[in-house]
Amino acid sequence: MPLIHGRLRALMLLLASAALVAAATTIPQTLDPPAHGATQAVLSQRTVVTGTRPFQPTSYWNTRLGKAPRSPHSAAWIRDSLNSAHTQNYLKLVLGDWGMPVVRSHPSDPLNTVSANGRSIRVHIPARARPMAADDAAIVIIDRSTDQVVGLQGARYANGHWTAIGMSRYHYQSNGIAGGLPGGRKANFGHRGVPASVQAVTKREVLRGKIRHRLEVYWWETADRTPEGSSAYFPMTGSESGKTGVVPEGAVIRLKPSVDLDALKLSPAARVIARALQKYGAVVGDNSGTGNNLKLQANVDWSGILNKDSLRRIPWSDFVFVKGGYRP
């Protein structure tokens, strides 16, 4: 009998511990005020942080910045964000036609052969998936059954077939680094070194309360060289040509570690993004043409959760650029 009671007591302690962990990894989700302002309300769900993310835990994309050194060019690059002729006073979120569709496929979804840039891949794409409505016609496909994170640009679906003008592919279980770079994998390619899975904040991540990877930020206009003379900083393989901005591609911007997120009084959903920007930062990976932006997932409803101005409480002075090419 004492042995049975001992085992029962151990089981009860284990269950209590699990309940505490679950409580610690949930957040009450408060609605972000719409652009015109509205009273915040509480989301109906409290979601436990679970699931996996693309790439190895030690991947560059999944490793926190920690005490990363500051770029000696940080002050000048932050000043560029204040260029009132081209950008706004805060990091804007992009949704709607220019948001990024993100789909997760299953082995039962149609298996498509897509060719672009002299390469062909086979990937499962859900039957109802469609690219963004804007000119880029991009879409992100996460297909664990074929071990791939795929990005299509200039994508089109017609008569049961997918075509694309551009394509990126990074193996889900790899380190997410493009072939040709130190530590890169030859089979990983495209979007100048930026995997499609970091191109947009997904609704699932926000509702779970954690984004556990670096993001991509779209700058109003990038430089075509780094100050040191290379075409781009690691982890990028190059930069968009013909650009005359001052911030090079591959540069990483983050919220300063010293910033008190609670003092910013963000909505819980916006705080999830801010926390990711503080822990992991965002790689300057492409040009936006206007403003400095993060993309939100396009094929979901963000009503009452996030809007384009949800990060407006964070001034550019709270940001800093990491030393170019730094690998945590």
Per-residue pLDDT tens over the stretch 198-215: 999 999 999 999 999 999
Average pLDDT over the chain, rounded to whole? 87
Is 256 a residue whose pLDDT tops 70? yes
Which tens digit of pLDDT belongs to each residue from 277-301?
A: 999 999 999 999 888 999 999 999 9
Distance CA 304, CA 298 (A): 15
Is 165 a residue whose pLDDT tops 50? yes
Instruction: Assign 51 a pLDDT band (cuts: 50, 70, 90).
Output: very low
Is 154 within 8 Å of 132 (Cβ atoms)?
Answer: no
Is 269 within 8 Å of 47 (Cβ atoms)?
Answer: no
Instruction: Assign 26 a pLDDT band (cuts: 50, 70, 90).
Output: very low
Is 258 a residue whose pLDDT tops 50? yes
Output 31 or 275, whichever has higher pLDDT: 275
Is 31 a residue whose pLDDT tops 60? no
SS3 49: coil
Task: Provide CB contacts within 8 A for 234, sequence distance 6+.
Answer: 181, 182, 250, 325, 327
Give ∠ CA 46-259-79 in degrees, rounded to 5.
120
Output 172 or 41, whichever has higher pLDDT: 172
Residue 52 pLDDT: 72
What does DSSP say about strands 92-94 and 252-255: parallel, antiparallel, or unpaired? Answer: unpaired
Rg (CA), the chain: 21
Average pLDDT rounded to a whole number, residues 167-189: 97
Query: Domain ranges in the chain?
Result: 55-98+200-328, 101-193
Is 77 a residue whose pLDDT tops 80? yes
Stated pTM of the model: 0.84
